[in-house]
Structure 1
Amino acid sequence: MERTLVLLKPDAVQRGLVGAIVSRFENKGLKLVGLRMEVFGRDVLERHYAAHAQRPFFNNLVEFMGSGPVVAIALAGKDAIAVTRGLMGATNAREAAPGTIRGDYGMSFSNNLVHGSDSAEAAATELEIFFGGQTIEWERSDLEWRYSVKEELA
C-alpha cells in the first residue's frame, strides 16, 4: 500500500472543513495512518517548501502556512498519491472540477485548502518532515469490501 501526506491548510481549519475533508479521503477507502494538528514552525515549513525557496511566492507561502493550525494527515491505500490528488482537484480552486475538495469548497489559487504529495519520493520526504516515521500500522476490518484482495492486493 502506498503512503502519502495531505496537509489541511490554515484556511481549511479556520473554515471548519477538517471533518468534511478527512471524510472525503476515508469515504473513498484510504486508510488514516497518521493525524497531527499543529501550528508548524518556520523551520518545518521551509524544509517542506524548499523546492520553492527561490520563487517569489516562497515567503508568503511559508507565512500563510504558519499563520494558524495545519492538520497533517498520513494516508495509505493502493495508488494513494494519485487518488488523493484526484480528490483534491486543480491547484486553482476556481478551475477545480465540482466534486473535488477544491472544486466544492474553494475559490482561491493561493488559499486552496489542501496540499498533497505529488510523487512517491515527495511523499517519503514529506511524511518524514511531518511525522518523523511515526505512523500507525493497522488493518481495516472492511479491506476486502474496498478492494478485490485477490486481484488488486495480491
Structure 2
Amino acid sequence: MAHERTFSMLKPGVLQRRISGEIISRIEKKGFHVTAMKIMRISEELCRRHYSEHEGKPFFPGLIAYMTSGPVIAMVLEGENAIAHLRLLCGATNVDEAAPGTIRGDYASVTRMNIIHASDSVESAEREIKLFFKPEEILEYVDDSAHWLG
C-alpha cells in the first residue's frame, strides 16, 4: 500500500445539520491524518473549477447552487491508500446505493445534496488540494499514534 494524500470536503448540508463533528470524528477514527482543514464559503468560480468535469450535465447548475449556498469544510487527509479508503468510508455517491455504516449511507438522504466529496484518483487529489490550499497551509507533523493504526 502507498502512503497518499487526498482531498475531502464536507458540503453545506453538513454544517446546516450540525453533524460536522460526527463526520470528522469518523474520518479520524478510521486512521486518517488530518494535515489541513478550513471552513470556507466557496465562490461560484472556484466551484466551477472544482467540478469542471460535470459542466454541461443536467445536474450541474443545481450542484453549483448547492455548493455555494453555505460554508463547506475543506480537508487534506493522509494515510495508507488514503484515496480508496476514504471513498469506501464515504460510500456510493448515489445515496440509494450507499451502504449503512458509510458516511453517505448513514447521513445523506438526497443524492443531489450529497454531504461529502472525496477525490477519486491521485491526479484529482493533487488538483483539488491545489485549488483549496496553499502549500504553507498543509502541515507536516509526526502522528505519535501512527504505530497503533498499522
Aligned partner of 2:122: which letter? Answer: A
- Cα separation, 2, equivalents of 1:101 and 1:47: 25
| CA deviation profile, 1:121-140 (whole Å, cap 9, x unmatched) | 00000000011323110111
Q: C-alpha distance in 1, partners of 2:62/2:107?
A: 22
Q: Among residues 136, 141, 153, which one is paired with 2:139 in the alignment? A: 136
Superposition pairs of residues 71-150 of structure 1, within 5 angstroms: 71-133=73-135, 134-147=137-150
TM-score (norm 1): 0.92
The AA in structure 1 aligned to 2:123 is E
CA positional deviation for 1:55: 1.3
Would you say the 8 A contact 1:81–1:120 is kept in 2?
A: yes
Contact preservation (8 Å) 1:40, 1:66: yes
Runs ≥4 residues deviating over 4 A: none
**Residue 32 of structure 1 is aligned with which of 31, 34, 57?**
34
Q: Is the 8 A contact 1:94 1:106 kept in 2?
A: no
How much has 1:112 moved relative to structure 2?
Answer: 1.5
Q: TM-score, normalised by structure 2?
A: 0.95
Q: Secondary structure at the match of 1:93?
A: coil
Counterpart of 2:53, as a letter, is A
The secondary structure found in structure 2 opposite 1:56 is coil
CA contact (8 A) 1:117 1:123 kept: yes
Task: Count residues with an aligned counterpart.
Answer: 147
**What amino acid is aligned across from residue 144 of structure 1 in structure 2?**
H
Structure 1 vs Structure 2 CA RMSD? 0.9
- Structure 2 residue runs of 5 or longer lacking an equivalent are none
Q: State the 1:114 CA deviation.
A: 0.3
Give percent identity, aligned residues only.
43
Alignment match, 2:68: 66
Structure 1 position 94, deviation (Å): 2.6
Between 106-115 and 122-131, the greater mean CA deviation after superposition: 106-115
Counterpart amino acid of 2:104? R
